[in-house]
Amino acid sequence: MGYGELNIRSYNPQKDRARVEDLERRCEVGPAERGFLFTDTLGDPICRIRNSPIYNMIVAELNNKLVGVIQGSIKLVTIHKPPKNLARVGYILGLRVAPLYRRRGIGSSLVVRLEEWFIASGVDYAYMATEKDNDASFKLFVEKLGYVKFRTPAILVNPVNCPMYRISSKYEFEKLKVEEAESLYRKFMSSMEFFPSDIGNILRNKLSLGTWVAYPRGESWGEILPSSWAMVSVWNSGEVFKLRLGNAPTSCLMYTKSSQLMGNLVPCFKWRGIPDFMHPFGFYFIYGVCREGPMSGKLVRTLCRLVHNMAAKCRDCKAVVTEVGGSDTLRRHIPHWRLLSCPEDLWCIKGLKNEERESFYELIKTPTTRTLFVDPRE
């Protein structure tokens, strides 16, 4: 490498916590034209993977300076590849390299070391998510390390602001018990891509605020389901880490300032503006969106509004976020702002076992019409 000896090792909380937090504060996420996101891990650098079944963090030191970090988690999920539909997958996230030490091969060295841990743990596939326009990430994973484009989900962001949404009286709502929610998810979503086998653990996690269903008023919820229904679960990501927007686009800043001004000048005017994302904020993540019946789209929209109103009562929650498959028609029914959303996130995947190479190519050729289950722990 020519810059000193690079030491890659496992994360040591006593030695590395403060240094990893400092690195996280100095590393931006996302393309400049959309505004950088900075992460505050609230004193727990492994907060984003701590709730996963198996996880690991690896750090890189150069001349005794912590210059890079990467995280990974492992789980068993549904993945459509013949002859079997389950796979052990490793998710790569939180790759950070200090700005002054980039383009020295540190990032690729961290990924390779994490892949070695995946292989030793029996992982079939490694995958990662990045912005579609993140050239540095694309070149590293796709052009250098052999990952291939897999899915392009959409990240839909709706700002939490006043006034609250009006909820139609045409619909009934119920909060399900965890056991009932788990049963419904296994019945209706277990064949969806990346559905986690430990869905019960997700629903029972303290960060999962609950699962709600909506259906037409006048019908009942029971063993026989209504003619139309929708279901969502909610995860409080703000209890794990905070985000802060930096280098915000001029359009976003102008809209934020103008909406605040309108709210101050005319307090009785119901102006729905953008919250202050320049200071640390939390967000709710809607996951497990499931629906059936001709009215189900409207029911999904109504449930999203219900979650928005819940989030508005949380002091530092500034957004409700949902991620759906790129070709999923659900995106038409989920309230979101285009200015804040990402219409095409990019998932890339890599087969780690030679004996499954043929089924891997079948997997990446599978049409993207299926619903994608996005794990809130990631």
Q: Same CATH fold, 157-332 and 6-152+344-365?
A: yes
Q: Which range among 133-147, 219-233, 272-286 shows the weakest confidence by mean pLDDT?
A: 272-286
Report pLDDT for 267: 47
Q: How confident is the model at residue 265 (pLDDT cuts 50, 70, 90)?
A: very low
Name, in order, each residue with C-beta under 8 angstroms of 43's C-beta and a sequence gap of 6 or more: 17, 21
Task: Convert the pLDDT of each residue in 196-227 to its tens digit.
Answer: 999 999 999 999 999 999 999 999 999 899 99
Domain residue spans of the chain:
6-152+344-365, 157-332
Report pLDDT for 274: 72
Residue 270, Ramachandran bin (φ over 0: left; ψ between -120 and 50: alpha; else beta): beta
Report pLDDT for 355: 62
For the chain, percent of residues with pLDDT exceeding 90: 60
Beta strands in the chain (DSSP E): 6-10, 36-40, 54-62, 65-78, 86-97, 125-131, 148-151, 154-159, 171-176, 208-216, 229-236, 242-246, 282-292, 317-324, 345-351
| Beta bridge partners of residue 283, listed in sequence order | 319
Residue 152 structure tokens: 């392009």
Q: Between β-strands 345-351 and 36-40, what pairing exists: parallel, antiparallel or unpaired?
A: unpaired
For the chain, percent of residues with pLDDT exceeding 70: 84
Q: Between β-strands 229-236 and 54-62, what pairing exists: parallel, antiparallel or unpaired?
A: unpaired
pLDDT over threshold 60, residue 105: yes
Please report where in the chains the tokens 């999923």 appear, as a residue: 328
- Considering the chain, what is the average pLDDT of its residues? 86
Shortest CA distance to 79 belongs to which of 213, 243, 197, 223?
197
Please report where in the chains the tokens 């709210």 appear, as a residue: 263
For the chain, the first-to-last Cα distance in angstroms comes to: 32
Query: Which one has a higher pLDDT value, 331 or 31?
Result: 331
Mean pLDDT for 71-95 is 88
Give the side-chain half-sphere CA count within 13 A for 281.
23
Neighbours of 257 (CB within 10 A): 13
- In angstroms, the CA 341 to CA 336 distance is 7
Report pLDDT for 253: 46
Q: Which range among 148-162, 221-235, 236-250 shows the weakest confidence by mean pLDDT?
A: 236-250
pLDDT over threshold 70, residue 261: no
SS (H, E, C) 7-74: EEEECCHHHHHHHHHHHHHHCCECCHHHCEEEEECCCCCCCCCCCCCEEEEEEEEECCEEEEEEEEEE
pTM comes to: 0.88
| Beta bridge partners of residue 54, listed in sequence order | 74
Shortest CA distance to 61 belongs to which of 5, 22, 133, 100?
5
Q: Which range among 41-50, 157-166, 249-258 shows the weakest confidence by mean pLDDT?
A: 249-258
CB-CB contact of 285 with 152 (8 Å): no
Q: Which range among 169-183, 280-294, 360-374 shows the weakest confidence by mean pLDDT?
A: 360-374
Sign of the dihedral through C-alpha 182, 185, 190, 196: negative
Reply yes or no on domain 157-332 having CATH 3.40.228.10: no
Reply yes or no on domain 6-152+344-365 having CATH 3.40.630.30: yes
Report pLDDT for 81: 67
